[in-house]
Amino acid sequence: MAAIAPGAGGPPMSRWLLAMHSSSETLGLAVCDANDPAGGTRILSRPMGRQLTNGLIPAVEELLPRAEWASIGRLAVSTGPGGFTGTRLTVVMARTLAQQLGCPLHGESSFALMAPRLSQTLLATQVLQPFSIVQTLPRRGRVAGRYRLRSGSAPVEELERPRLLREDEHPSPALTMELDVASDVQHLLELCCQWEQADTPGPWEPVLPIYPTSPVGPV
């Protein structure tokens, strides 16, 4: 009897969608099978701190065994702003996987990911106008991105990616940055599913970390 080719006469091989978020002390990972989205989403949210350097790959393996990495079909990663080392590690890993596997990669700022969640605190008179998300950095000033709610599959448009504000800039309305890595990495995976369904191109080369301030101080 002739051998049956993988996937022939049986269920389709898994095509994994992987989302990664480490713009804070907490690592967030989320994965689902694009061929079986009803099968559920696996999410890992874990405080890592400095352990991320040696713990990132084992954490990914915990969620998605290394033997399955060749079946990753699309990746999404938070590009910051956030901790220099944490953001860089996941972006570099995502870029490397996308390059080696030849699969699409999408980058979203951590502020854009939390914007739909934080926008729920806007006043009724503010929901139709652009708003900012602001983070105060000790001894380094304030970082802000600008957003607008919209209808459709992508509920928020990033009008201006996070940058360091001048001392005389006071955007309004302004919402304070508030972390919820588990929720935000799940939202990132949902976006990844939408990009997969739409077959949206995702070149890996433009996906880079956002560093509003220099990691070595003023230059």
Query: Which 3 state secondary structure label does DSSP give 209?
Result: coil
Mean per-residue pLDDT, 15-38: 93
Give the position of tokens 């954490």.
59
- Grade residue 217 by pLDDT with cuts at 50, 70 and 90: low
Mean per-residue pLDDT, 26-36: 95
Query: Which 3 state secondary structure label does DSSP give 119?
Result: helix
Q: How far apart are CA 116 and CA 148, in angstroms?
A: 9
Percent of the chain with pLDDT over 90: 76
Residue 206 has pLDDT above 90, yes or no: yes
- pLDDT score recorded for residue 55: 96
Q: Which CATH superfamily does the domain covering 16-197 fall into? A: ATPase, nucleotide binding domain (3.30.420.40)
- Cβ-based burial of 83 (10 A; exposed 0-12, middle 13-18, buried ≥19): middle
How many residues are listed for the chain in this entry? 219
Which region holds residue 73: left if phi is over 0, alpha if psi is between -120 and 50, else beta?
Answer: alpha
Residue 115 has pLDDT above 60, yes or no: yes
Which of the two residues, 77 and 139, has the higher pLDDT score? 77
Instruction: Look up the pTM and report it.
Output: 0.90
Amino acid identity at 172: S
- Cβ-based burial of 10 (10 A; exposed 0-12, middle 13-18, buried ≥19): exposed
* pLDDT, tens digit (0-9, with 9 covering 90-100), for 144-182: 999 999 876 668 999 999 999 999 999 999 999 999 999
Which of the two residues, 139 and 54, has the higher pLDDT score? 54
- pLDDT score recorded for residue 140: 82
Q: What are the two backbone dihedrals, phi and then psi, of residue 87, each rounded to the nearest 5 degrees?
A: -60, -45
Peptide bond into 203 cis (omega under 30): no
Mean per-residue pLDDT, 53-63: 96
Partnered with residue 149 across adjacent β-strands are 156
Q: How far apart are CA 163 and CA 143, in angstroms?
A: 5
- pLDDT score recorded for residue 152: 62
